């Protein structure tokens, strides 16, 4: 396969990997980040290349089902199909998606660590103290905030 064909193939598969719930803009940004990670432009991501993306790095061995040390388009599509909703958008979830920089469907503390205000909100929303805020926890925190705001007004 020609290098340009490999890149097109990788771009297509990564768009499918990243695009869920009609989040085309987020998918485009994720695709660009993942394409940039393919440093040698071979159409696959090595373990070293995947380190640029915490979600891929964390799940690399599980995604690499043939254990060849490379993430192929087929493996990424299969992982994505087996884990639906990762990075997907829920009604009113655009703020969540922006914070979920690795598009894994949850917000990790590291994704808000550089913003003290967001980090404080993270701590309040992480009700089970597992180090991640799920969409359900974020919705509950927003509802609690709205209720508190209405009570004071």
Q: Which of 103, 130, 99, 127 is nearest to 115 (CA)?
A: 99
**If residue 19 lies in a helix (H) or strand (E), which one and from where to where?**
none
Q: Mean per-residue pLDDT for 105-131? A: 87
The reported pTM is 0.42
Q: Mean per-residue pLDDT for 3-20? A: 47
**Tens digit of each residue's pLDDT (9 = 90 or more) over 54-96:** 878 888 898 899 999 998 878 877 777 776 554 433 333 467 7
Whole-angstrom Cα distance, residue 145 to residue 113? 21
Q: Which of 33, 73, 72, 23 is nearest to 53 (CA)?
A: 33
**Tens digit of each residue's pLDDT (9 = 90 or more) over 33-54:** 666 778 888 888 899 988 877 8
Q: Mean per-residue pLDDT for 103-120? A: 85
> Is the CA virtual torsion 59, 65, 67, 69 positive or negative?
negative
Domains of the chain, by residue range, sit at 3-82, 105-152
Q: In whole angstroms, how far apart are CA 54 and each of 34, 67, 113?
A: 11, 19, 14
């Amino acid at each position: 396969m020609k290098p340009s064909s490999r890149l097109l193939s990788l771009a297509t598969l990564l768009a499918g990997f990243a695009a869920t719930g009609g989040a085309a803009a987020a998918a485009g940004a994720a695709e660009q980040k993942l394409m940039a990670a393919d440093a040698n432009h071979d159409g696959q991501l090595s373990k070293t290349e995947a380190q640029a993306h915490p979600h891929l790095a964390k799940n690399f061995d599980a995604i690499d089902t043939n254990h060849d040390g490379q993430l192929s388009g087929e493996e990424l599509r299969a992982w994505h199909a087996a884990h639906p909703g990762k990075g997907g958008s829920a009604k009113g979830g655009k703020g969540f998606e922006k914070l979920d920089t690795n598009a894994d469907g949850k917000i990790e503390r590291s994704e808000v660590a550089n913003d003290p205000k967001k980090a404080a909100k993270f701590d309040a929303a992480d009700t089970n103290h597992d180090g991640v805020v799920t969409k359900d926890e974020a919705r509950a925190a927003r509802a609690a905030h709205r209720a508190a705001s209405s009570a004071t007004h």
